[in-house]
């Protein structure tokens, strides 16, 4: 019988928690979410890189809960926009931005940019830390192209505009399984999982 170990994923997003739980099934590691710690206040994401934000969130949650914590930070980087929206992806169109507003702003910013110059990537940084200050980190990138108009009804965020040329579909046209198998978050998580065993040993 493995000893019970618990980690907190620094999110209230049930999809992300379920994904990590599934990947850690049979490892003896229990995954908690921030819903299990209602007193945990807002964590400021003041970093200038995805990795910095992931570290800030993981450190804050480990400190507040006394448990090892995992955090991710992700976004879309567009070459023709010098990497924007980047760490500002969620609020590209302003403080109360919606997915539709963010996508409209992105299309407008690229209106004069021809197809061959619309390269972009989704990036995800993951950081895990223990209350005694040990760390594990991983990163994933998913290259693609920004489509001229939205396509597909699945996913969230910039998925309808993110076209994967190797598949001939946007991220919003993929099943969740197809997306997880190649996404920036799927890649980062797959790299982090083997490191967690050592971190929690």
**Residues recognised as catalytic:** 73
CB of 122 to ligand IMP, least distance (A): 6
Picking from 68, 76, 91, the residue whose alpha carbon sits closest to that of residue 20 is 68
Residues lying near ligand IMP in the complex (CB under 6 A) are found at: 73-76, 89-90, 102, 122, 155-159, 171, 183
CB of 143 to ligand IMP, least distance (A): 13
Q: Which is nearer to ligand IMP, 76 or 200 (CB)?
A: 76
* Tokens 């969230």 belong to residue: 156
Q: Which is nearer to ligand IMP, 102 or 187 (CB)?
A: 102
CB of 144 to ligand IMP, least distance (A): 10
Q: Which is nearer to ligand IMP, 90 or 119 (CB)?
A: 90
Q: Which is nearer to ligand IMP, 161 or 200 (CB)?
A: 161
**How far is Cα 112 from Cα 98, in angstroms, rounded to an integer?**
23
CB-based contact 157:99 (threshold 8 Å) = yes
CB of 104 to ligand IMP, least distance (A): 13
Burial 178-196 (b: 16+ CB within 10 A, else e): ebbebbbbbbbbeebbeeb
The CA radius of gyration of the chain, in Å to the nearest whole number, is 17
Residues forming beta bridges with residue 121, ordered by sequence position: 77, 143
Residue 199 phi/psi, 5-degree rounding, is -60, -40
């Amino acid at each position: 019988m493995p000893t019970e170990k618990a980690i907190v994923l620094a999110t209230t997003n049930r999809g992300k928690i379920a994904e990590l739980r599934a990947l850690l099934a049979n490892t003896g590691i229990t995954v908690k979410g921030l819903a299990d710690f209602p007193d945990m206040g807002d964590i400021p994401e003041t970093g200038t890189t995805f990795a910095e934000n992931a570290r800030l969130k993981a450190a804050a949650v480990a400190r507040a809960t006394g448990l090892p914590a995992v955090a991710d930070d992700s976004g879309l980087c567009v070459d023709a926009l010098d990497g924007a929206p980047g760490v500002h992806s969620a609020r590209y169109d302003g403080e109360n931005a919606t997915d539709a507003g963010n996508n409209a702003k992105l299309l407008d910013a690229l209106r004069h940019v021809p197809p061959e110059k619309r390269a972009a990537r989704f990036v995800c940084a993951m950081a895990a830390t223990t209350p005694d200050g040990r760390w594990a980190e991983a990163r994933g990138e998913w290259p693609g192209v920004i489509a001229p108009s939205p396509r597909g009804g699945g996913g969230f965020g910039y998925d309808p505009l993110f076209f994967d040329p190797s598949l001939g579909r946007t991220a919003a046209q993929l099943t969740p399984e197809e997306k997880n198998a190649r996404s920036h978050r799927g890649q980062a998580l797959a790299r982090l999982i083997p490191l967690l065993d050592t971190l929690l040993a």
